[in-house]
């Protein structure tokens, strides 16, 4: 009877992961995601203090904010970054 892949005594081109290694990678990934979010929020706060706006440029052309029948369209919402 052949042995299942990854069992002792068999050769495999890719080693099977250790039980805790995927958990450790997931934890490190979560920490990195939090660090990126924190740095991004700090950058937004710094930009706001310098008078910069966050998000795309506002629409200044009146024809761009009107529909074909001439009715005014709602302006796109500006990105609101929560302050802590």
- State pLDDT tens for residues 8-66: 665 666 777 677 788 889 999 999 999 999 999 999 999 989 988 777 766 666 655 56
- Closest-CA residue to 58 (of 38, 39, 77): 77
Q: Are 69 and 75 in contact (CB under 8 A)?
A: no
User: What does the DSSP 8-state code read for residue 53?
Assistant: P
What pLDDT, on the 0 to 100 scale, is given for residue 55? Answer: 77
Tokens of 13: 């081109």
Q: What CA–CA distance (Å, rounded) separates 41 from 21?
A: 30
Q: What CA–CA distance (Å, rounded) separates 62 from 47?
A: 28
pLDDT band at residue 75, thresholds of 50, 70 and 90? low
**Beta-bridge partner residues of 66:** 72
70 versus 35: the higher-pLDDT residue is 35
Q: Give the predicted TM-score (pTM) of the model.
A: 0.45
């Amino acid at each position: 009877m052949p042995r299942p892949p990854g069992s002792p005594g068999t050769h495999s081109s890719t080693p099977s992961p250790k039980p805790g290694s995927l958990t450790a990678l997931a934890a490190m990934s979560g920490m990195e995601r939090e660090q990126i979010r924190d740095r991004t929020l700090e950058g937004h706060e710094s930009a706001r203090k310098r008078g910069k706006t966050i998000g795309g440029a506002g629409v200044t052309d009146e024809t761009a904010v009107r529909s074909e029948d001439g009715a005014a369209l709602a302006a796109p919402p500006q990105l609101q970054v929560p302050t802590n």
